[in-house]
Structure 1
C-alpha cells in the first residue's frame, strides 16, 4: 500500500486515454484557448487563469494533459497587461465556464456538465480563480492553484466564502508570491476542505512552458519536475472532485516526494 500513491502519480503524469482537440474561445466571444477530449457528453470542465504577464500558451501542456484525461480545459487570454483588473479577470474565468457549458464543442460531439465545473490558476490567475469561486456564478465544485498571488479584492478574504474542496500548491523557492503571505494565507482562510502542499526545487515560473520575455523581470524559469507534479496532482484532484472516479484519492491524502503536505485540517483530525 505504501507504494500506491507513487504508482498513481506515475500513471497520472502520463497522458490519459483520450485524443485531444484544440479550439479557439474567440469563436464563442472571448479570446483564449480550449482543449477538449475528442468526444464525450457531460464532461467536467475547468477554467484556468494565467499568471501575471503570462500568455495562455505557456500552459498548453497542462491544459492538453487535463483534456487527455477527459476534462475540458479552457484559458481566457485577457488581462495580460502590467496592471490587470483582478475582478474582471475573475469574471472572465466565470464567463469561460459559461461559454464551454452552453455550446457544443469540437465537431459537436462534446458537451460539458454544468454540475461538474472547476477553477484553476497560476499566480494572479490563481488568486482570480479564488475570486471567481467565491462569486458563486457559476457554482464550481473544486479549485486548484499553483503559486497563487494575492489580488484586489484579496483572495484570502474571498477564500472564506469558498466551501468546495481546494488544492493549493506553493513553490518553495518563490520570490514573487512567497507561500506565507499568499498560498498559505489563502489555504488557512478556506471555507471548505483544503490542502496546501509545498513543491521543493520549484520557483514562481516553474509551471510555465517555453520561454517568454517576462523571465527577465520575474524570478524563476520552467521546471519539468514541477510541471510533472502539477499535472499529476491537478489531474487527481479534478478527477476525484468533478467525476465519479475515486481511484486517485489516495494520492491526494498522502505526502509524496517533492510535494509535502503542509496544511490539511481533514488529515490532521484523522
Structure 2
C-alpha cells in the first residue's frame, strides 16, 4: 500500500474548538511500534502500518524521562501518518546536550534511510522535523542547527539550560513552535520559552497552555515525579496532540485548513509572535 500526501489530510474543521476536537483524536491509520535498538540506539519508533514518502519527527525526552512517557503523543502522530522516533539515551542526571542532539539526528537518519515495517514504510527526507520536551526541546533546536533538510521544530516547555540553546535558536530558520506551560515551575516560560523564542532566527510561534504544568505533557508514573512539580494531565496532552499535529501537518505537508490551530485563538491557550532577531 502506498501512502500519499492526501491520505493524511484531516477532515474539514469549523473553528478552533472543532479543530482541537478532530486533531486530538487518533487519526485513520493503524499504528506499529518498533525499537531503535536495531541500530544500536535505545528508544522507540511509532509508524503507520504502511506508507511511502511519509513525514517524520525525532522527539527528545526531558530530564530523566523514559521515552515511553511520550507514547501518547508519538502514537497519535503515527496515527495521522507520521513516523515518530524517540531515542532513550542521555537519561542520566548530567546529560550531554550535544550528544543528545546527535542522537536525535541519528534517529531521524534511521527514519529516512531505513525501510521500516518490512519495507512497507518510507520517509520523505524533505518532510522531517525535530521536537522535544524540556532538555529534549533544547536538544531538538541544537539538532536542527545546520541540518539541511529539516522543515520544522517543536518544543514543549523548553529548558534553557545550556548557552548553546540560544545560538541554536538564532541559527534555525525553519518554522518553530514553542509550547509553554503557564503553571510551569521547573522551566517557567519567562526564563525559558520566552527568551528562546525571542532569539529565533526564523518564523516562530510561542503558545502557552495556560493551566499546564511542566509534567502535564507526560503520561504514566515515574520515580522522577517526586522531584518534579505537577503531574501528568489528560487535558494538557489533548491540547498538545492537536497543536503539534496541526503545526507539523501545516508546515511539512502544507495543510492550510489547519491554520486556525497555528495562528488562531485556541481556547485555554495564549499565542504570541515574538519579534524575530535580525
Question: Is the structural similarity TM-score above 0.5?
Answer: yes
Please name the residue that 1:229 is paired with: 239
Determine which of 30, 49, 70 is the counterpart of 1:19: 30
CA offsets 1:115-154 (integer angstroms, 9 cap, x no match): 1110100000001101111132x53100011100014343
State how 1:1-270 maps to structure 2 within 5 Å. Answer: 4-136=15-147, 139-264=149-274
- Conserved? CA contact 1:6–1:251, under 8 Å: no
1:29 Cα deviation after fit: 2.3
Give CA-to-partner distance per residue, 1:140-176, whole Å, 9 cap, x none.
1000111000143431221000000000011011111
Deviates more, 1:167-176 or 1:251-260: 251-260
**Structure-2 separation of matches of 1:100 and 1:109:** 13
- Residues of 2 paired with 1:3 and 1:110: CA distance? 32
Distance in 1 (alpha carbons) for counterparts of 2:255 and 2:157: 27
Task: Tell me the secondary structure at the aligned position of residue 148 of structure 1.
Answer: coil
Secondary structure at the aligned position of 1:211 is classed as coil
- Relative to structure 2, which stretch is displaced further, 256-265 or 58-67? 256-265
Corresponding position of 2:9: none
User: Does the CA-based 8 Å contact 1:5-1:254 persist in structure 2?
Assistant: yes
Tell me, in whole angstroms, the C-alpha distance in 1 between the residues paired with 2:138 and 2:103.
13
SS in 1 for 2:186: coil
Output the CA distance in 2 between the equivalents of 1:139 and 1:127. Answer: 19
- Aligned residues of 1:193 and 1:265 also touching (Cα < 8 A): no
The runs of 4+ residues in structure 1 deviating greater than 4 Å are: none
Q: Is the 8 A contact 1:87 1:153 kept in 2?
A: no
* Length-normalised TM-score, structure 1: 0.94
TM-score with structure 2 setting the length:
0.92
Residue pair 1:53, 1:214 contacting (<8 A) in 2 also = yes
Tell me the SS of whatever aligns to 1:135.
coil
Offset of 1:259 from its aligned partner?
1.2
- 1:150 is paired with a residue whose SS is coil
Q: How many residues align?
A: 264
